[in-house]
Structure 1
Amino acid sequence: MSLKPTSTGWTLAFTVLLTVGLSLAPLPEKFRPLPSLRQEGSLGPKLVALALPASLRGVKAPRPPADTLAPDAPPSALADADSVGTDTDPKAGPDVGEAPAVPGIGLEELSAPTLATARELEALRERMGAKHVDIELNCRKSRADGTCEEDGLAPLMRALGDLRSDTRRTPVRVVHLGDSLIASDYITDVVRDRLQERFGSGGPGFLYIHRLASAGRATRAGTASTDGWKMERLVDTHWPRDRVGWTGVAFSTNGPAQSTRYSVEGTRVAELYFLAQAASGSVQVSVDGKNTQRIQTRAFGPKSEAAFARLKLPEGAKMLTLTASGKTELHGVALESGTPGVVYDTVGLLGGMAEVYLRAQPAAFRAQLRHRKPSLVVLMVGGNEAFFLSRERTTVDEVRTQMKELVSRVRTAVPDAACLVMSPIDAGVRTMSGELVTRRHSAEVTEVFREEARQGGCAFYDTLAAMGGEGSALKWLESGLMLEDLVHPRVRGSNLLGHLFDLSLQRAFARTHPPRLPGADPTGLQNATPALNRMFEALGRREAGAKLRVGIAQVGASHTAAHFFSDTVRATLTKRFGDAGRGFIAAGKPSSRLEAAHVSRTLDGPWTVEDAKGAVPGGLWGLTGIRAVGAPGASLGISFCEGCDDRKDTPGRLDLYALDAPDAAPPVIRVDGEEIAPEAPPPEPLTKPTVRIRSFPVTGAAHTVQVTVPEGGGSATVLGASLEYDTPGLVYDALGLPGATAFTARDMDAAAMDEQFKARRPDLLVFWYGTNEAELPGLDAEALQQDYAALVTRLRKATGAECLLIGPTDRLQQDADGRWEEAPALGKVLTTLPKVAKDAGCAYWSARAAMGGERSMQRWQRQPEALGHADGVHLTQAGYTVLANAFVKDLMAAYESTKKGGEPTASAAGAP
């Protein structure tokens, strides 16, 4: 479709566009490839020195920007360059001179996948000479004596702090106004994603009726269905002077009904921004094809004004459709989840300037901005001002006056919100002779904006200095980070700018809300060498073609019992190293969690499923701490690889784990429907229950074992079954008991457990306890350390396996007022488990650190697709998948490093 601007000055506009190249033009998608962010080589100690959260460094506001650091500067110089000095100014803000130390560069509280991308961007930053530049906070509110009472970002930081402490029940909204650099959302998407990961997502935010240009992404807009909409923009020669506010665009129709639609999955609240006018018009709202309400757009009086309508979205809604009839004018729709979290609005106009936003109708600008109730307004213009200065089409005084007025309008419209001014980035131009030179006036506009931000009580971020200063655009062009127009960054360059701005916001937040020091909660895989040397050597041989089996047994609580984590790990590892079978499945009730692995269980008749939690110490249990006890007439079945047919001639082995009891008639066992002949009785009669593992040869992929208790034969106890193929590959057992702790495993009969683990032939034991220990107010950390280490050591001795401990996920619980707080013993567990791993000679991986550290569960709960369960303890299936992928990535990174004959790299070993 084509939306038709009503400007009558297109000829002049195209002349200007031809003159300035693509600087004011829509950005074609084909010029925006999304290359992979591959880290080329290790940053070594430089990145560690920058990113290590435990190293605290004083950070000062960056004025003036530091000189570009020489590429061969030592790590200490690199760290110093990221903290640039400033003149002491008693009115500059609460933090003046030497600022309080803040951790690292802002990489704290990122989940493992995001942290991996951040490390890649850090590698890119170092290669490009870009810088970590801190936000100049300035002063928005002074005391009577002239000292600063509140800095320019204080309202935002308070709001984010309330989100973190779970005392806020409404979203924290950011409104980001700008030019073509953000119209595509390629910078702000990084910032939005990071903030929503740290503090939770409040929803997509403000979206246009349709994208503003024929090229580019439509992620910040709906999809209009016909060509009957008329689009008018503040950047047009004849802009809509009397009605449009900060949205900058009006979409109107006065003929046949026109519609637009939005994906609203996870959204519960929508608000329509429109113009109430004397003409009769309406908007029909429908959700998933069903009409829900009709909005009349007629004004109550003769004067047109900005108006808003709240739309009802039922839970589970997927598609919102708006159909406008009569004379209507719509400005956009705000979509929110209705839960606490961050909402980040991106409103970018191609060719945007401070002067362009001043074209907005003042009352509409004020009404729309106030209605959003932002905690922060960001102003990101300046590139077009610098261009027009270079063409002598404006003056520095005009630029100063326009920015002063724009800041004033924002502060007046939302006096309780923080505001932040960003400088333009560097750009280049081609001379008549074809030479590439730096565009003049970017630095001059930066200084104007810096001063107007300070005078107006707004914070200031020097994007030019962060990019690398004047001349950096030419370097970015050579490295493929800029488009050929020398004005707009490509996706990778935009991601770097977003990364740097996000970390500056995080460092500002850490001044007043420092994250927990993570010394006891390290990121990544620790002690991979030497703890996993034999495991990695076996994987290397298997990958090289050796015909061997590699066994991994993961034992733990509900995170393991859910199977979602282990299924993801198994699928990734078996794809690379070969699939030697599903492994062990505990006896028990039918479970939908097994369906993804094509496994099912049945229980018919009088069965009782018992577990080891709270049982008398010393009992006989299966590998998971489960046993199924059947009375006469009961029948139990476990089926593997249902529907599989890709191993028709493959031999294998199906093992049944059960208890033999004195004076009990043996149960009837059927494998694939065929009854198995009873074994001969043992030479010596049994005097007590004994674990018995029976092995049955099978051929093909799919198999079922069924155990039936004969009438009059007493009871039978089944522990589980396993299926393996006689093919090279990997077997990954998931042995989880919901609610279990390391103490639960300690109290089970040692000889019986050791025998069963030995039968599983693991090369690696993965232990994942700690989440349930975290809820114990009186947890004895010393006892946990001793008993857990003893358990690991005992099972290692029985199996000869290496070991890896996974630390707890973040765990929260609600207080009497419904606010989330950390589980009472989580800190003890986080401190103790690395010691357990060290005592037992195991590798260690912190699930909580991979989630993003302190209060990450709350942030995972508030993602657009929830990753954390509402109970504050468990993850959703999507969350377990994300966490498992992070685990495999760290495990395989360590494997790759040792496969090459060296120590794990910093990223593989878990250095932040």
Structure 2
Amino acid sequence: MALAVGLSLAPIPEALRPIPSLAKGPVAPQLIALVTTSSAASKRKAVGVAPDGESNAPEVPELPEEEEDTPELVQANPSDAGTPEPPPIVAESDSLGLAKLGPAMRDAALRMESLREKMGAQHVDIEPGCRRMGASGCEESGLAPFFDALDGLHDGIRTQPVRVEHLGDSLIASDHITDMVRLRLQERHGSGGKGFLYIDRPTRSGRGVRAGTASEGWEFTRLIDRAPPKDRLPFTGVAFAAGNAGSQDVRFGIDDARTAEIFFLAQPGGGSVQVLADGKLLQKVQTRWTPAEVAFAPVKLPAGAKTLTLKTRGKVELHGVSLENGNPGVVYDTIGLPGAYAGVFLRAHRPYFRSQMRHRKPSLVVLMFGGNEAFRLSRDWTKPEEIKQEAESLVKLVRESVPDSACLVMSPIDAAIRTMGGDLVPRRSSREVADIFRQVATEGGCAYWDALSAMGGEGSAIRWLAAGMLNQDLIHPRAKGSDLLGHLFDLAIQRAWASSHTQHGAIEPTGIQNADKALTATFTRLHSLEKGENSRLGVLQMGASHTASHYFTDALRTPLTKRFGDAGRGFIAAGKASDRLKPAGVSRELTGEWTMEDALSAATPGQAWGLSGVRAVGAPGASLSIRFCDGCTAATTPPARLSLYWLDGPGVGQMEVKVDGSALPPEPPPPEPFTSPTVRIRSFPVTGPSHEVAVLNQGGGPITVLGAALDLEQPGVAYDAVGLPGATAATVAGMDAQALAAQLSSRKPQLLVFWFGTNESGQPDLDAEKLRTGYGELIARLKKDSGGAECLVIGTTDRLQQRADGGWEEAPGLQQVVTTLPEVARAQGCAYWSARAAMGGARGMVRWQREGLGHADGTHLTPGGYEKLAGMFLSDLLAAYETFKAQPPALAAEGR
């Protein structure tokens, strides 16, 4: 201890101090922490001699959990104090690689972008490398097998998980960097489960997220030990033995896992392992075998189980456990050892390495070394030729073990050293090792990612240290720094994948496009409402079944009215009773003989319909009622307006109207009798949000009811949803224009939302030019009929149809619709939001089906799916609104 203190206070480089930060703080607490750590570490016995990391100190373990800053993976708010700035809108080209991320993770990624700019970090593309050369050049890139596997997930034809094996040093030993990449990949492509977990933390420090909770008597041997037995260690780098210290156990949280696989050594005299789920015995695994070889024991986990426990008896050696949920998705294994370099993993027993690697069937193997090579090179403990030879040998071993897998080599990141004078300077050998690794990757047929340049190049470690993103050892990033590196690596993977799978067409932009120009008046009204001014925003959404279901619009209406005020439930089409309306407190009832008619089934075009394209025709004696806020107790009772929409004309019956059970005087006849069906609208002053309007056909002919509306005369948002299942934009264009104009004039929307395209995408003979022209003319006409409303076009959701072999393929007109709708929106001055991009783009429906969000028909969503999609839309809309508010006042005022 005295020697450690003396050396730590001596004028030597910081990296060589036994207690690096001793000279910068109180001595006593650090000595206590050192003694406590040593005592805790002694509870487990490491077999063999001291590891390289202890004798040569190329790297040290990461700080304990309690000393790390909290990583920001998907938190809604950054950890910095103060009010967070709103995230910027994603660029239309999505050049960053943010496609397919959900709102929360994308917002966190955008905050990471702000941090990246602050730190001077860079977006560095992956160099794809070449797996196979041909007469015409490279015929297969280094990442082709990985990208093909991801495409298989999105095509719905892959039934196995896409596994990634990430081998490396202390930068990933505690699952930093890789945790960010894992979360992002599983967000985009689905999760296959936790993947491989160690029995215990082999480094005795850092986070335990990739290991079980083990008893204290496990003995373990590691590849980082200076002289590990070469005939027994696996590719996972650690063997956990339970023979000499008696029976041992380890417990894992199951989460969503449905299968477990135990990695162990079958050996002469081997004992047994009891496998328990929530304390109940599932099976017993015998490990006795001659000759010794690595083995695997699959275990099916019971539904609802919480914990998996392994209990040993006799001589047992375990290597780890893999937990997977049985779904096609991404499984990302982290195999990291502090102090490791490429040569360390060459110490593994080759047959064991090959057997376990092949058993995992990875689609991608990532090799993340270089930091310890650079350290060793800076101390003249190795030579560039030796570094290259070891890296080449490891790449060759991986390629021979899993020849059908992609491989990717990463460079070391930047590090710094402290001079004798106390100055910080970049570690001189990091770039040299990075260049060696690039050459190894190129010659070995692997992709390459320059993490050093992504971090900001040589000298960036010094900036990161000053910003609190690097540990005092000048080598290891703290949690937020690791998150940033994971963020940059993930986006590099996404960009590479997006550029590789052109067979699905271009990736659509995410976020609200053209919002700054198309929604100025809308955002101005929202801002007025937020400031408490007397204003109103009427929104009317027209569409097909996505709109008609009300799930999407109800999920929007609630948060909008809560934040900006409630201006009433708005328009409700006439119709039968519907459970979909109950959550919003709306109910409908038809009594007697009624016929429901719609514009899709009309024998001739040009007929008069309600806003939703339907009408209810009642025979004499039939009655209809629509209730608003049914069963609710209103906190306030503002003045309101209850309106009834119906068709008048030749031969109509006599209609009695009641409001809240009280009959109203008959409507005065028009000055001139109607010669054709004509929209009539009658409004009644009421108080509060809870009301019923009812009509009764008293005879003389049929009556035709279109709907009713309730508007509160107070500041707020009113969101009308008028949709007809199966409709297209052409369906609405074929309806009587005068009838639509009369109803739109009554509703007075300031924003029209159009959501067509899903049904058009199912048309094998779709005429894209006709869609472009017809849809554009419809939008222009309805904007005019609404008194100059702004407009927003929602693009189609992903739509698939099932093939004979059970797989899914795109609907025949989908690509034409995806290309045409943004053009229509742009030509009409509308904002545009791609629902398909929000779902993850091409084959997004397959993933949503897997997660219980997409309907089995490949076209519709489940209620939960509509709610999730609405949340994504609302997040993007409010992000655009926050950007609008951040404009200089003169610009923001232009929309008023």
Distance 1:691 1:324, change over 3 A: farther
Q: Equivalent residue for 2:423? A: 435
2:235 to 238, 242, 246: 246
> Which of these residues, 647, 653, 657, is aligned with residue 664 of structure 1?
653
**Paired position in structure 1 for 2:78:** 36
Counterpart pick for 2:719 among 724, 732, 756? 732
Structure 1 segment 442-453 matched on structure 2, within 5 A = 442-453=430-441
Inter-CA distance 220–696: structure 2 relative to 1 (3 Å threshold): farther
Amino acid at match of 1:424: P
SS in 2 for 1:297: strand
| Whole-Å separation in 1 of the counterparts to 2:327 and 2:306 | 19
1:198-253: per-residue Cα shift (whole Å, max 9, x none)?
Answer: 5554444333456667876555455x487676666544678687655233345566
CA offset digits 1:139-179 (Å, max 9, x no partner): 55567x99866554343344345455555443332211112
The residue type paired with residue 36 of structure 1 is P
* 1:766 is aligned to 2:757: no
Report how far residue 187 of structure 1 moved. Answer: 1.9
Deviation (angstroms), 1:31 = 2.5
CA distance 1:177–1:869, shift in 2 (3 Å): farther
2:35 alignment counterpart: none
SS of 1:274's equivalent in the other structure is strand
Match in the other structure for 2:177: 187
**Which residue in 2 is equivalent to 1:87?**
none
Q: Which amino acid aligns with 1:176?
A: H
For structure 1, the residue ranges without an aligned partner over 5 or more in a row are: 54-102, 906-912
User: CA offsets, 1:726-785, max 9 Å, x none?
Assistant: 321111122222221112222333333333332222111111111111111222333333
Query: Contact 1:774 / 1:823 at 8 angstroms: preserved in 2?
Result: yes
Query: What corresponds to 1:74 in structure 2?
Result: none
Query: TM-score, normalization: structure 1?
Result: 0.79
**3-state SS of paired residue (1:806):** strand
Distance 1:620 1:515, change over 3 A: same
1:872 equivalent in structure 2: 858
State percent identity of aligned pairs. Answer: 52
Q: 1:247 to 1:582 in 2, by over 3 A?
A: farther
The letter of the residue matching 1:324 is K
* Cα-to-partner distance string for 1:527-546 (whole Å, 9 max, x where unaligned): 44543333233223222321
* Contact 1:515–1:854 under 8 Å retained in 2: no
Q: Does 1:790 align with 2:777?
A: yes
**Separation (CA, whole Å) in 1 of partners of 2:226 and 2:182:** 32
Deviations 1:238-289 (A, max 9, x none): 8687655233345566767845343443x55543333445444233354xx6
SS at match of 1:623: coil
The 3-state SS of whatever aligns with 2:45 is: coil
- The alpha carbon displacement at 1:552 in A equals 0.8
* One of 176, 181, 189 as aligned partner of 2:166: 176
Partners of 2:273 and 2:358 lie apart in 1 by: 24
* Aligned amino acid, residue 493 of structure 1: G
Indicate conservation of the 8 Å contact 2:64/2:207, yes or no: no
- For residues 419 and 445 of structure 1, what CA distance do their matches in structure 2 show? 18
Per the alignment, do residues 29 and 11 of structure 1 end up closer, same or farther by CA in structure 2, a change over 3 Å counting?
Answer: farther
Q: Which residue of 2 aligns with 1:58?
A: none
Which whole-Å CA distance do the structure 2 matches of 1:655 and 1:105 have between them? 49
Match of 1:751 in 2: 738
Instruction: Say whether residues 1:805 and 2:843 are aligned partners.
Output: no
Distance 1:565 1:350, change over 3 A: farther
* Superposed displacement of residue 303, structure 1: 4.1
Q: How big is the shift at 1:861?
A: 4.3
Gap change, CA 1:759 and 1:298, over 3 Å in 2:
same
Does the 8 Å CA contact 1:108/1:515 hold for their aligned counterparts?
no
Q: 1:632 to 1:841 in 2, by over 3 A?
A: same
Change (3 A) 1:331 1:697: farther
Q: Structure 2 vs 1, CA of residues 10 and 431 (structure 1 numbering), >3 Å: closer, same or farther?
A: farther
Give the alignment partner of residue 572 of structure 2, picking from 585, 588, 591.
Answer: 585
Out of 199, 205, 209, the residue aligned to residue 195 of structure 2 is 205
> What is the identity, as a one-letter code, of the residue corresponding to 1:444?
E
Residues 225-234 or 788-797, more deviating: 225-234
Per the normalisation by structure 2, the TM-score is 0.81
Select the residue among 108, 112, 121 that pairs with 1:130.
121
Q: Distance in 1 between matches of 2:742 and 2:203?
A: 68
Aligned to 2:803: 815
Shift of 1:350: 3.4
Q: In 2, distance between residues paired with 1:322 and 1:180?
A: 28
1:855 and 1:262 mapped to 2: Cα distance? 32
Task: Please list, as runs of the form range in 1=range in 2, the aligned pairs for 1:551-590 lying within 5 A after superposition.
Answer: 551-590=538-577
Contact 1:25 1:350 survives alignment (8 Å):
no
- 8 Å CA contact 2:97–2:491 kept in 1: the answer is yes
Whether the 8 Å contact between 1:234 and 1:357 is mirrored in structure 2 is yes
Q: Distance in 2 between matches of 1:666 and 1:4?
A: 90
1:274 aligns with 2:264: yes
Q: Which residue is equivalent to 1:458?
A: 446
**Cα gap change, 1:576 to 1:461, in 2 (>3 Å):** same
Distance across 1 between alignment mates of 2:769 and 2:501: 31
- CA–CA distance in 2 between the matches of 1:847 and 1:354? 45
Count of residue pairs brought into register by the alignment = 838
Alignment partner, residue 91 of structure 1: none
The CA distance in 2 between the partners of 1:467 and 1:357, in whole Å, is 26
Question: Displacement of 1:556 after TM fit?
Answer: 0.7
CA change 1:29–1:274 in 2 (3 A) is farther
The Cα offsets for residues 763-819 of structure 1, whole Å up to 9 and x where unpaired, read as 111111111111112223333333323332332233212222222223222333333
Whether the 8 Å contact between 2:656 and 2:663 is mirrored in structure 1 is: no
Alignment of 1:474-873 (within 5 A): 474-509=462-497, 512-514=500-502, 518=506, 523-528=510-515, 530-601=517-588, 609-616=596-603, 617-629=605-617, 638-641=626-629, 644-645=632-633, 647-658=635-646, 662=651, 664-666=653-655, 669=658, 671=660, 675-683=661-669, 691-701=679-689, 703-705=690-692, 707=694, 718-800=705-787, 801-861=789-849, 865-873=851-859
Are the structure 2 counterparts of residues 876 and 332 from structure 1 closer, same or farther at C-alpha, using a change threshold of 3 Å?
farther
Cα distance in 2 between the residues matched to 1:637 and 1:476:
67
Contact kept, 8 Å, 2:373 with 2:387, in 1: the verdict is: yes
- 1:871 and 1:507 map into 2 onto residues whose CA distance is 31
User: Is this contact kept in 2: 1:429–1:438, CA < 8 A?
Assistant: yes
**Equivalent residue letter for 2:725:** P
Distance 2:299 2:115 in 1: 44
1:260 and 1:606 map into 2 onto residues whose CA distance is: 66
**Quick check: 1:420–1:458 contact (8 Å CA) kept in 2?**
yes
Consecutive unaligned residues in structure 2, runs of 5 or more: 1-39, 892-896
Give SS of 2:534's match: coil
SS in 2 for 1:730: strand
Q: Would the alpha carbon gap of residues 268 and 236 (structure 1) be closer, same or farther in structure 2, given more than 3 Å must change? A: same
Does 2:461 correspond to 1:419? no
CA shift, 1:425, in A, is: 0.7
Contact 1:648/1:699 (CA < 8 Å) preserved in 2?
no
1:872/1:492 Cα in 2 relative to 1: closer, same or farther (>3 Å)? Answer: farther
Task: For 1:724, give the aligned amino acid.
Answer: D
The answer to whether the 8 Å contact 1:270/1:311 transfers is yes
Contact 2:294/2:355 (8 A) holds in 1: yes
Alignment CA distance shift 1:692-1:272 (3 Å): farther
| Match runs of 1:65-464 below 5 Å | 120-141=111-132, 151-163=141-153, 167-196=157-186, 198-209=188-199, 219-221=209-211, 224=213, 233-235=222-224, 243-250=232-239, 258=249, 260-265=251-256, 268-277=258-267, 278-286=269-277, 294-299=282-287, 301-312=289-300, 317=304, 319=306, 321-324=308-311, 326-327=313-314, 329-391=317-379, 396=384, 399-464=387-452
Maintained 8 Å contact 1:118/1:499 = yes
Aligned equivalent of 2:457, options 458, 464, 469? 469
